Structure formats: structure tokens, C-alpha cells
Chains A and B, each alone.
Chain A
Amino acid sequence: GQSLEQPSEVTAVEGAIVQINCTYQTSGFYGLSWYQQHDGGAPTFLSYNALDGLEETGRFSSFLSRSDSYGYLLLQELQMKDSASYFCAVRDIASNYQLIWGAGTKLIIKP
């Protein structure tokens, strides 16, 4: 079967760095995506990794290790507006390349 695991909640301090991990189990991995969703809002695409390594976009970076079936989202210089839920999602050949979503990580940022 297909499954993703990520922590349900992470707390960090404004200005700090936080890492949200995601491990996955799929039969035909195609790529790992990260989405941000504020309360009451829509999911917003953050990053996509198809190959091993680090992808950097401003304060956000995403890492993938296909051999470990593991990825993470790194958020630097945390701001209060980064308080949101973060979902990892994989595309899997067995699911017709459709996104399979993790349960989401609620990021709480304290001043």
C-alpha cells in the first residue's frame, strides 16, 4: 500500500529554523511535493523534488532521499505568517500519478 508519515505538530520560535520530516511508502514513487495551508485557506504549492538532493526557494528548502524514502521541508528565519499546516504528498505510479497526501503537520510559531 501507499502511506506517508509526518509529525502532527511542530512548535518553533520566530526567527528560528524548523525541519518537517516526511517518510513515505509507495510502490512506484514519482516525486515528493510540499504544500502549505493556512487555516480557512487553500493549499499552496511550495516545492517539488523528483531527484535526490536539496531544492531551495527563498526561506524554504526541500530535501529528498529516494533510497531512504525520506524527505523534509526546512523553513528558515521563521515568521509568524508561517504558522500553517504543511502537507507532504507523493505522486505514485500505482495511483495514476495522483497526489497521495500525508496527514499534515501543524506548525505553531511562538514570538
Chain B
Amino acid sequence: DTEVTQTPKHLVMGMTNKKSLKCEQHMGHRAMYWYKQKAKKPPELMFVYSYEKLSINESVPSRFSPECPNSSLLNLHLHALQPEDSALYLCASSQESTGDTEAFFGQGTRLTVV
């Protein structure tokens, strides 16, 4: 199984809503990531978890809150988002968070904030 599964695939939320994005992998990877991608741009790193601990937070606003309940699951809790937060949110995993390890990406959640 070389899949990273993300749910939901699409999400529309209002600026006062609270929602969560979910990500799951069963490859035994110890590093998991959240990326944000705008149209025609490269992925932009948001958070890195290594061995279930947050190791990197790329100065992401607190309205985005990551959580890693166990080694296979990664959540991204959303609250009070802005329309400019509309984007494709990608989860990825790799063997380790450093070194020459291939990153496997999920299909993403396309988020629209209205």
C-alpha cells in the first residue's frame, strides 16, 4: 500500500466555521507533512511531523492547527479562515523527515472559503 488518503476531497466552508482535514497512511512512514498549493504555484510547506511530534511550523497562522493522533494519522483543524486561504491542501508522508527520502502525496483537499 503506497497510498496517502485524504478526506474530504472538496470542502466549502464559511469564515466562521470549524472544519478538519484528515490524512492517513499505512506505509510505516515516520514523517508526515501538510502543504498548501495555490493554482499554478508549487506546494508550500506548512507543517512537518516527525515521529508524531511537530518538528517544523513554517510560521503558519494559528487559524490552522495540526494534530497527529498516531503514526498513521494527520489532521489539520481549520477555524476562522479567510477567503485567501482557499487552496489545495496536500498531505504527504516519507520514511524520515530528512535525507533522500521520497515523499508520497495524497490527492489533496480542495478548500473554498466563502
Contact with B along A31-60 (1 / 0, CB 8 A): 101000000011111001010000000000
Contact with B along A11-49 (1 / 0, CB 8 A): 000000000000000000011010000000111110010
Q: Are A87 and B42 in contact (CB under 8 A)?
A: yes
Known: A43-B105, A98-B48. A31 touches B100 (CB 8 A): yes
CB nearest to B91 among chain A residues: A42
Q: CB-CB < 8 A to A42: which residues of B?
A: 90, 105-108
Asked if A71 is at the interface of the complex by the 8 Å CB criterion, the answer is: no
A48 contact from B90, B97, B100, B105, Cβ within 8 A: B100
Q: Are A97 and B98 in contact (CB under 8 A)?
A: yes
CA distance A45 to B95 in the complex (A): 14
CA distance A78 to B40 in the complex (A): 22
Please report the total number of B residues contacting A with Cβ < 8 Å: 21
Q: CB-CB < 8 A to B108: which residues of A?
A: 42
Q: CB-CB < 8 A to A50: which residues of B?
A: 100
Excluding A96-B56, A98-B45, 17 further A-B contacts by CB distance (< 8 Å) are: A30-B99, A42-B105, A42-B106, A42-B108, A43-B90, A45-B103, A48-B100, A48-B102, A50-B100, A91-B99, A91-B100, A96-B48, A98-B48, A98-B56, A98-B97, A101-B43, A104-B40
Interchain Cβ contacts under 8 Å between A and B, 17 examples: A30-B100, A42-B106, A42-B107, A43-B43, A43-B90, A43-B105, A45-B103, A91-B98, A91-B99, A96-B48, A96-B55, A97-B97, A98-B48, A98-B56, A101-B42, A104-B41, A104-B42
Q: B-side interface residues toward A, CB under 8 Å?
A: 40-45, 48, 55-56, 90, 97-100, 102-108
